[in-house]
Structure 1
Amino acid sequence: MLSLPLHSWPGPQPSWQQGILLIGTRHKPGTSRAEARVRIRQALGSVLAQTLSIPADAISFPRNPGNRPRVLIAGRAEPGLSISHEGTLSVAALNLHGAVGIDLMQVQEVPDWETIACDYLGPRTTRQLQQVAEEQRPTAFAQAWCLREAMLKCAGLPLVEWSDTTQPPGRSFTLDLPATVQGVVVLPDAADAWAPGLTA
């Protein structure tokens, strides 16, 4: 998979790549998930206001407990939004032209990884993980898990056990992150013409 840069916020103003925006923000250790959700939305609101040259009150985040996150921008069609949290890092992916999915996972030993892979990642991915060297498996598992979650998020589906009908198509990219964390972004197949490095 190609790797995409994650723009840290606060920081230099991020650039759009064909309507795609990826930002991340760090929290202090011990920050609650509720506070992390607020902070990543505040960061995204600030970035949108600056990069789109619109007032902050033109951006809103409807409360949608238990469902995918949403952002509304006055005068524009509703963009795709996906958010993920891991440890002290929160990330957001926004697509002005359609759906998007993003997911993070800490690289760590997962004692029952094989059972989890069989249940959620499917037989092909499980076989691939079985062939990975033991010392590299935590990273490979984390990346495979992020890919699965990001694909489901992009399709607007909840995390469910594997079946051939629960593997939606999509184009995937890894995030440029420290080795201790894996991250994946997924765009719909309709975005196949998209390539990193091209601006909006």
Structure 2
Amino acid sequence: MRQPLLELEKPEIHLWLQAVPPLEVLLPRLELLSLEERQRAGQLQLVEDRRRFLAGRLLLRTLLSHYSGIPPQAISLDRTVTGKPYWRDPPLPLQFNLSHSHQWILVGLALHRRIGVDLERIRPVPRWQRIARRYFSAAEQAYLLACPPPERDAVFLQMWTQREALLKAVGVGLAGARRLARDPGWLTLPLGVADGYVAAVAVEWERGTAEEAPPTVRLGQVPPG
């Protein structure tokens, strides 16, 4: 029996979280990937980097298939000049983005609106002040300085994921970070995901129109197998 399609309404944002499966679980499914994706994976020197890349692309293709009804291997994915994946000639106006960090993958999907997601494992950030001076506003820097030191790494990384998710949604590099943070056409939200991780999603938001309420965000978890 064919699995029912997943349904996504325009006001909704669907987020899917998955633990990175072992490499032996991923390898039998490589035929679902394009030749270019398999070649990119083969160029990664570290086994863990290869595992995360394969897991991310397999999860993305599987989800796109569940929403569109098209087989995963028949989906034509390409990359922008900044590396953001997109679907050439999709059958529905589906926008998506993905992120992976350590042992988790996060995929975000929306209709009609650009979307970006970012996921980070909480860890020490030795040069947080230098990074904050370059990419964060004066108010954000002051907030970080006022944080209790034991909490600062998590707070910094939460702020960083929101900035990175926005940049990924727009498809630009870090140079536009401060300007985009003040753009009223975007909504950026922190996410509660796995223990020891922080995440964020950024989406286009039609403020000032009939669609004034923020979109509904739904987070689900995919089994790792």
Give the aligned partner of residue 23 of structure 1. Answer: 16
Larger radius of gyration: 2
Conservation of the 8 A alpha-carbon contact between 2:76 and 2:87: yes
The Cα of 1:25 is off from its aligned counterpart by 2.5
> 2:87 aligns to what?
71
Does residue 1:140 correspond to 2:160, yes or no?
A: no
Unaligned runs of 5+ in 1: 1-12
Match of 2:29 in 1: none
Q: Letter of the aligned partner of 2:215 in structure 1?
A: A
SS at structure 1 position matched to 2:85: coil
CA distance in structure 1 between the partners assigned to 2:89 and 2:74 by the alignment: 6
Q: Are residues 1:196 and 2:216 paired?
A: yes
Q: 1:23 to 1:31 in 2, by over 3 A?
A: farther
Structure 2's unaligned 5+ residue stretches are 24-45, 219-225
Identical-residue share of aligned pairs (%): 23
Runs of 4+ in structure 1 off by over 4 angstroms are 63-66
TM-score normalized with structure 1 length: 0.76
| Aligned pairs, number | 184
> Could you say which structure has the higher helix fraction?
2
Q: Tell me which residue corresponds to 1:180.
A: 196
Contact preservation (8 Å) 2:12, 2:217: no
- Aligned partners of 1:54 and 1:196: how far apart in 2? 26
Once the two structures are overlaid, the 10-residue window that deviates more, 52-61 or 178-187, is 52-61
Tell whether the 8 Å contact from 1:154 to 1:187 is kept in structure 2 after alignment.
Answer: yes
Alignment of 1:1-200 (within 5 A): 16=8, 18-27=11-20, 28=22, 31-56=47-72, 59-64=75-80, 66-72=82-88, 74-77=90-93, 79-160=94-175, 163=178, 165-167=179-181, 168-169=183-184, 170-190=186-206, 192-196=212-216
Cα RMSD (Å): 2.8
Q: CA deviation at 1:152?
A: 1.4
